[in-house]
Structure 1
């Protein structure tokens, strides 16, 4: 079974400023989320624009973290445009993986949305999930201090039971060779779409 309209999104949340910081100071590790995302561009997800992420963020000045810039530019959005188009990278299966990134500061927290998706009309099989390098999106790599969520979206034709089984297989495939063992927690419905966690 293949998945239509597939996307894999990482939502990371990282403490920028704590109660122990003065109002004009940030936490010592505030830039860690952005630094680790930029490292992905140098390693597992070689999008040139991801590697150059610092140049797209208002909290960097000449590739050096400078959070003072945030207050001068945009109060919540940390990129110069609505989102950063990361471009595309080829796969050994003949299709391209595309990406975009949005970056925000919400009060004392940085938030990142890194979304990966294949060419339009490209259906994805479970083994092809590995092409999206999901192991590089895990907490040990991203180190988002307040947590993160991996969100897999896809459309399939099938019964609820078939969708549940496919969701379980996708979770196993996403965590292959990581030491993590996915456990089904619950199922729900949101605007007519099935949700599995």
Structure 2
């Protein structure tokens, strides 16, 4: 397994890019997994469904399974948020893990930059950023810069920048990048 993240400010287009990048990677025969960081509470199950009733009743974990998919819901119930390393360790074997968010963690990242956001780029201060997908050029960058809308070019830099899982786990043990 190899790992690379997509990092950038909210509104930069990370999710949109992932939705275009994943099919391009799958078309190459890769098995792709994703880890998405949310900055807010979220629900996967819905009120009235059995899984929701189990969780609300106090179950710390609920697994829902059918012939087409299964999902595991873990309630922290006062425990600390799971680390990126812990979440990566829970994934089934695959070829490539794409991590959305976790921009302060020490894993290789593609910065997704959109000038209209009006935010400063991340790459000058983050040595873990290995490439930039942007709607504006960065001639001073010392890493590859590809057009945000060029999925083929983004695919190339993602594959080149992804690191083996063992290497990523070792980097994560050393704490945040900055």
Whose RCO is larger (CA < 8 A, sep 6+)? 2
The TM tier, using the shorter chain, reads: under 0.3
- More strand per residue: 1
TM-score using structure 2 length:
0.25
TM-score using structure 1 length:
0.23
